Amino acid sequence: MKGVCGKLLEIDVSTGKTKNITISDEMVEKYLGGRGLGARLLFDTVPVNTDPLSPENVLIFLTGPLTATMVPGSSKFVVITKSPLTHGWCDSYSSGRISVELKKAGYDGMVIRGKSNHPCYLRIDSNRVELREANLIWGRDSFETEKMLRESEAKHPIGVSSIGPAGERLCRFACINSDLYRQAGRGGVGAVMGSKNLKAIVVKAKKEVDLHDRKRLIELNRENYQRAKKSVVAQARMKYGTPLTLNITHTGGILPTKNFQFGTWEKALKKIDSVGVYKSTISHKACLSCFTHCGMITRVSEGKYKGIGLEGPEYETLGMFGSNQLIDDLPVIIQANILCDKLGLDTISTGNVIGFMMECFERELISSKETDDLDIRFGDSETSLRAIEMIAYRQGFGDILAEGVKAVSERIGKDSGRFAMHVKGMEFPAYEPRGAFGSALSYAVSPRGACHRRAWPPAKEILGNYPPYTVEGKAEMVKCLYDENCILHSFLVCDMPAKFIPLSQDDYSKYFEAVTGGPISKDDFQIIADRIETLIRMFNVREGFTRKDDTLPYRTLHEPLPDGPAKGQFIGEENLNRMLDEYYELRGWDRLGIPKKETLKKYQL
């Protein structure tokens, strides 16, 4: 099969030994790559009840069959592991040169085992794999680390992924950075990398990926580029990037505000929404292998933070450090984004934990005497920035915050768990689910915890024709969205061109055949998606997860939303249970969410 290397690199950082793992064409046909292949590998390689921060856990970097080709958005990669935040399944996505270089070096991915007895980094090229001493970069932030590693490789283009101080200190929502501003952000993958004393990975290669029909790929790209030029949605996204989502969520009443107490915030408009970010944008950027340049390069032009800038901020950061903390100062949010990127923290979880603490102080459930003088209130931007560093370095009460919102609420007690906004231990992203019941179900059944990547129900409930405040048809809607994204995340292509040009499954069938030489159909996609999602469920069931974990915070279930178009709405346990029953039935799982024997047989599991 063209476009596929047919092997993974396995590295035991305890011993420095490496070997190749063969990936057959049959494995690609059953699981594609990315999320699908990762599900098979994690289930087979991690022993039951493994401590996520122990040497027995694995850290899997994977590409997909379309990686390093000319397919739009095909520079993605996924990091798969057992999450230190949830103790369950974790897949965290990013993009960058490292995915392309890894494929060009002859590998579809790598499986990292063990724990080095000293700080190290992994260097891979077309001829050699080696572990090198990392004493000079250990303790440095991700930006410094990447700069030093690039300088050490002279002028040759390289892919770099690294962790910051948060990963070194095993913060349970530490991320892995690539190309400075790209993060595998969710679930604590950076902590797993840090637990192995692995500071960074460097990959460089010269070989090109062997393609079945390069001419056909070029033809498809020409056609789809013309479609992108004509698409109003694609052009808007290329102009405003993901900050445009804030305007959508505010209009729909699902913008998280004041730790998810409200669903709208007028102060966000024209300050931290698409208009506000666009005013600070100096240029646009596309990922490798993509013509939808939705990246925004922003720079602060005046005030205390004059001169700082980055690629971003993305919508999730605007929501979690903006409206959710009642901060309408864009330069502060940009500074928070930079701090999180440098120190190696997921902006979503970090913003969520800080918002939770703000509410705890407002309710007088905790005092500064108990938090090492961290007295943090809604709208307090300076203390919010201070909290980021305390979390990353585990300083004072930051050591507790670094464990995640679920652990913090358990430490504080006093019914604070009612407004600790998480599922399975992973913090809510920037969507208030009481204003879109499909989002509530999507959060509840997500195997990695509260997740906006599994599905994007606002496309149907806010922008489409699906009534948002009902459970009718939501199980089927969410399953369809999950299955579509499962294929994208196994091909390892970006959601942006898929959703906004848009590219259909027929389009990806054509790309797949042009790359690999093998046909694939809609029926194949459906079977593959069902197989993958069931296997991931099997992993979580094996680790002790059942229906009781597919739930939502008390606030989401029982407290009516007090504002916006969804005013008065809450999910309710009866509604959630009905959606769960219907979703499980569609998946072929029993009422506890455990895959039935006939389902396992159907999908050859």
Residue 63 has pLDDT above 80, yes or no: yes
Q: H or E stretch including 145?
A: helix 142-152
Whether residue 236 has pLDDT greater than 80? yes
pTM confidence score = 0.97
Q: How many helices (H) and strands (E) does the chain have?
A: 25, 17
- Among 108-117, 149-158, 231-240, 453-462, the minimum mean pLDDT is found in 149-158
DSSP string for 504-520: -HHHHHHHHHHHHS---
Q: What is the mean pLDDT of residues 203-231?
A: 94
Start-to-end C-alpha separation, the chain:
23
* Closest to 68 in 3D by CA, of 101, 29, 92, 109: 101
In 3D, which of 537, 476, 488 has the Cα closest to residue 89?
A: 537
Helix spans in 393-473 (H): 398-401, 405-412, 437-445, 458-461
**pLDDT above 90: percentage of residues in the chain:** 96
Residue 288 has pLDDT above 90, yes or no: no
Average pLDDT over residues 313-320: 98
Q: Tokens 């995640």 appear where?
A: 404
> Residue 43 CB: number of other CB atoms within 10 A?
15
Give the Cα separation of 63 and 53 in Å (integer): 24
The 3-state DSSP class for residue 10 equals: strand
Length of the chain: 605
The reported pLDDT for the residue numbered 155 is: 73
Cβ count within 10 A of residue 218: 12
E runs forming strands in 250-375: 281-285, 295-299, 309-311
Residue type at 368 in one-letter notation:
S
- If you average pLDDT over residues 428-454, what whole number do you get? 97
Predicted local confidence at residue 462, as pLDDT: 94
pLDDT of residue 550: 98
Q: Residue 234 above 80 pLDDT? A: yes
- Residue 26 — very low, low, confident or very high, per pLDDT cuts 50/70/90? very high
Rounded-to-integer distance, Cα 90 and Cα 61, Å: 12
Span of 148-152, 357-361, 528-532 with lowest mean pLDDT: 148-152
- Which pair of tokens denotes residue 19? 């070997």
Please say if the pLDDT value at position 545 is more than 80: yes
pLDDT (0 to 100) of residue 441? 98
Tell how strand 120-124 and strand 198-203 pair up: parallel
User: Does the structure show a pLDDT above 80 at 601?
Assistant: yes
Q: Give the single-character DSSP code of 464.
A: S
Q: Is the pLDDT of residue 594 over 80?
A: yes
DSSP strand pairing (59-62 vs 109-113): antiparallel
Q: Please report which confidence band the pLDDT of residue 154 belongs to, taking 50, 70 and 90 as the band edges.
A: confident
CA distances from 85 to 45, 48, 54, 58 (A): 20, 17, 14, 15
Residue pLDDT, tens place only, 406-423: 999 999 999 999 999 999
What percent of the chain has pLDDT above 70? 100
3-state secondary structure of 436: coil
Residue linked to tokens 């990959």: 203
Give pLDDT, residue 169.
Answer: 98
* Measured distance CA(248)–CA(228) in Å, rounded: 21
Supply the pLDDT for residue 289.
83
- pLDDT tens digits along 506-522: 999 999 999 999 999 99
Residue 103 predicted with pLDDT over 90 = yes
Q: Residue 126: pLDDT band by 50, 70, 90 thresholds?
A: confident
pLDDT at residue 433, rounded to an integer: 97
User: Looking at residue 157, what is its pLDDT?
Assistant: 86
Structure tokens at 117: 């007895």
Mean pLDDT across the chain, nearest whole number? 96
Give the pairing of strands 17-22 and 7-12. antiparallel
Kindly state the average pLDDT of the residues 482-510.
95
Note whether 87 and 103 are within 8 A (CB).
no
177: its two tokens: 């950075």
Instruction: Supply the pLDDT for residue 512.
Output: 97
Question: What pairs with residue 297 in β-bridges?
Answer: 283, 311
Residue 600 has pLDDT above 90, yes or no: yes
Residue 465 has pLDDT above 90, yes or no: no
Alpha helices in 431-504 (DSSP H): 437-445, 458-461, 474-491, 495-500
Q: 290 with 465: CB under 8 angstroms?
A: no
* Confidence at residue 551, expressed as pLDDT on a 0 to 100 scale: 98
Helices 573-587/437-445 angle, 10° precision? 60
Would you state the pLDDT for residue 156? 81
